[in-house]
Amino acid sequence: MVKIKVQNSNVTYTDNSLSTIYNYKNSLVEIDSNGDYNVTPTFHDYQFNVDLTPPKTGLLLVGLGGNNGSTLVSAIEANKQAISFNTKEGEIKPNYYGSVTQSSTIKIGVDSEGKDFYVPFNSILPFVNPNDLIIGGWDINKDDLSKAAIKAKVLDFDLQSKLSKTLKKYKPLKSIYYPDFIAANQNERANNVLNVTKSGDVDLNSKLANLEQIRSDIKNFKISNGLDKVIILWTANTERYSEIIPGVNDTASNLLEAVKKNHSEVSPSTIFAIASILEGVPFINGSPQNTFVPGVVELSEKHDSFIGGDDFKSGQTKLKSVLAQFLVDAGIKPISIASYNHLGNNDGFNLSSQEQFKSKEISKSSVVDDIINSNRILYKEGEKIDHTIVIKYLKAVGDSKIAMDEYYSELMLGGHNRITISNICEDSLLATPLIIDLVIMTEFLSRVQYKELGGNNQQRSLYPILGYLSYWLKAPLTRVGFETINGLNKQRLGLENFLKILVGLPITDELRFEERLN
């Protein structure tokens, strides 16, 4: 049920839908032969329609038995059952801290005294309640989630004990295992795989069969649980990058043919993405590998099926996207960023392999690219920040990731500034709320349609690459003609403003004329 109704003649409500007309304003900038900027304001009228009825939604996790999967299910079950637990600090009640959709607020205006007025993020429009999500998934390890939670060592013992009976009911489906794509040290975990022969050998000539099995799993999960929608999210091991090869994974048709031919550059995550698209199910990639090769993106466009990625943006990188933006916006020039991490969970174990680390390095380093491009006073064309990233596996620290960063910047007249930050975080307890937000927002965005007014334009869904998910992702997907941004504050502002225009609220500004023009 909608909790906020805006008195706006451009907004129309029915019992289960919302229609809004919005005049989108922007400016087209061109540089003439004198180097002057010629600016032409542009205006476009759009009509947005929102289905206000949250559907019964299922979530299938690839990597259900990992740290993130077991923590997510535990968090949802603890909240659903209102399970409190004891730690050395005392009793803890379940909550969704760290989740934007569940624990943050949005300013919607001012009160009669001119004070800012905030409401819960999830009161603007109807979202799926995470407690209502039906969860399943795949994992290359067969342990139920009670055993997985014990191995993960993320949850306090008392909570593990209280959830044990419930978590035992969650058992992962067999997943896909192509050893070349993840670290060799993951071999011992792989006892629950689809592509294995009777002799126990891995069958690498079964990619089409794997694809069909995943599609069947999706259909069965939806039917058996009576679901309206399903969303799939990859939270499994980081894979190595797939080589982009013309004639193999550069187009949708070539990629499907490559699956049939068992080409070595078709990764497990790409198989899952293809299966999701063919079933009309949104797919979110929470790891840094290039799951979305050009053929996958084209396939999503052809089937008008949502995709989002890449790589969860939880701790160090999220802070980097804020701090780098702050420095550049202040006219200070970062010339080097050194980032060091060590962690002891299975993600760190997998990343101790160079090929898998390379995927993570690319996603973590790209977060400052558009920030550099925003200031041509500080950075000339092609100039980059000297950016280095180190990740080390240290078993003793478990899920507590230690991150240290140094930002070295140039000031006026040859001066320099050095900012050093140490950040210790519980990795899975930062990543799990991101999964919740990605799923909640993906489902909501699938209920939005729009058309440009004038002419015979038809209602259509949003573009398949869900750019509004970029707030939660290190390396948001881009495509020619579709650019996303990395600055965290800009991402949040865009997300807030989109929700506001859907309900007829003015977009965010801080002119505060109420105070300054009296």
Q: Which amino acids are annotated catalytic?
A: 311, 360, 401, 474
Taking phi over 0 as left and psi of -120 to 50 as alpha, with beta for the rest, 455 belongs to: left
516 class by beta-carbon count within 10 Å (0-12 exposed, 13-18 middle, 19+ buried): exposed
Q: How many CA atoms are closer than 13 Å to the CA of 191, on its beta-carbon side?
A: 7
Token pair belonging to 450 = 């729009």
Q: Is 81 helix (H, G, I), strand (E, B) or coil?
A: coil
509 class by beta-carbon count within 10 Å (0-12 exposed, 13-18 middle, 19+ buried): exposed
Crossing angle for the helix pair 207-224 and 268-278, to the nearest 10 degrees: 50
User: What span, in angstroms and rounded, lies between the C-alpha atoms of 259 and 267?
Assistant: 10
Q: Is 441 helix (H, G, I), strand (E, B) or coil?
A: helix
Cα-only R_g, the chain = 24
Residues found in the chain: 518
435 closest CA partner among 322, 338, 311: 311
Token pair belonging to 456 = 């015979």
Q: Other CB atoms closer than 10 Å to residue 268's CB: what's the count?
A: 28
Token pair belonging to 259 = 């699956």
Cα 252 from chain centre:
23
User: What span, in angstroms and rounded, lies between the C-alpha atoms of 69 and 115?
Assistant: 41
327 closest CA partner among 422, 425, 406: 406
Q: Label residues 279-314 b or e (16+ Cβ within 10 Å = b).
A: bebbbbbbbbbbbbbbbbbbbbbeeebbbbbbbbbb
SS (H, E, C) 295-352: HHHHHHHHHCCCEEECCECCCHHHHHHHHHHHHHHCCCEEEEEEEEEEECCHHHHHHC
Which residues have a Cβ under 8 Å from the Cβ of 176 and sit 6 or more positions away? Answer: 138, 140, 193, 194, 195, 210, 214, 268, 271, 272
Beta carbons of 261 and 245 less than 8 angstroms apart: no
Beta carbons of 65 and 71 less than 8 angstroms apart: no
Token pair belonging to 317 = 């990188």
